[in-house]
Chains A and B, each alone.
Chain A
C-alpha cells in the first residue's frame, strides 16, 4: 500500500458544482496534513492546512478522519480558476517528520 494515495482523476465538473477529493494515508502516527494546489508546469502552492476539527477557507473545506485515515477537500461553487491538480501532503512523526506527497487529483471545471 502506498503511504499516501489519491484518485488521479480527472474530475470534470461544471461551474458552480461542489466537488470533493479524498486522500488516504497509511501511517496512523501521521501528525500534520496539508492540501496544495499545483497548476500545470508550476510549483505546488499551499492551499490549506488540515486541522483535526476540520477547517474552512472561503469555498474550501478540509476534513481529517483519523479513524479511517484519510483527509478530504471540498470545493463549493467551483470556478474555472479552480482547475488544477490538488496534492495532499502528510507529515509523519519522529525527529525528521518526513512529508509524503500524493500524486495529485486533477480537477477540470467546465463552463
Chain B
C-alpha cells in the first residue's frame, strides 16, 4: 500500500542532544514537508522540499535541519539549538506544486517528541 511512514512514533531527547526523525514515502511524490503541531495550535511549517537535493526553510526553521538525498526520504534533525522541541511532528508529501490545481498534502502518522 502506498503511504508515508514516520518513525519512531515516540522519541525522547536529552539536553544537548540532536535527534533525527525519519520520513519515507512510496507515493512517488516530488514535494515533502515537515510540520510541527503544538496543543491548541495549527500546523506550522518547518521545512519543505520540492525536488531532490533542494529544500527551503518554512516559518519556524530555527533549530532544525533536513536533507533530501532521495525522492522517498526527508529526514528531520531536531538540534540542541531548538530549546522547546516538545511537540507532535508531522511529515507530509504531495505531487509537485504546479502539476495540478488541487494537489492535497497527505500526512504520515507523526512522531511525538518529548524532552527528558
Which one of A49, A97, A101 contacts B98 once the chains associate, using CB atoms below 8 Å? A97
Inter-chain residue pair count (beta carbon < 8 A): 50
Which one of B41, B103, B105 contacts A103 once the chains associate, using CB atoms below 8 Å? B41
Instruction: Tell me whether B42 and A96 are in contact (CB under 8 A).
Output: no
Q: Across the two chains, which residue of chain B brings its CB closest to A98?
A: B45
Instruction: Count how many chain A residues have C-beta atoms less than 8 Å from C-beta atoms of the other chain.
Output: 24
Interface size bucket, B side? 20 to 34
Q: In the complex, A103 Cα to B27 Cα: how many Å?
A: 27
The answer to the question of A31 belonging to the interface, with a C-beta cut-off of 8 Å to chain B, is yes
Q: In the complex, A29 Cα to B104 Cα: how many Å?
A: 17
Given A43-B107, A43-B109, A44-B90, CB of A101 within 8 Å of CB of B43: yes
Return chain A residues, CB-CB under 8 Å to B33: 99
Instruction: Tell me whether A89 and B105 are in contact (CB under 8 A).
Output: yes
Which one of B56, B102, B109, B110 contacts A96 once the chains associate, using CB atoms below 8 Å? B56
The answer to the question of B40 belonging to the interface, with a C-beta cut-off of 8 Å to chain A, is yes
Most buried by A among B56, B88, B97: B97
Which one of B88, B97, B103 contacts A95 once the chains associate, using CB atoms below 8 Å? B97
Q: Quick one: CB contact mask for B91-113 with A, threshold 8 Å, 1 for yes? A: 00000011001111111111000
Instruction: Tell me whether A102 and B107 are in contact (CB under 8 A).
Output: no
Which one of A4, A32, A45 contacts B107 once the chains associate, using CB atoms below 8 Å? A45
Q: Across the two chains, which residue of chain A brings its CB closest to B6?
A: A43
The answer to the question of A86 belonging to the interface, with a C-beta cut-off of 8 Å to chain B, is no
User: Which residues in B have some Cβ–Cβ distance to A below 8 Å?
Assistant: 33, 35, 40-43, 45, 48, 50, 56, 88, 90, 97-98, 101-110
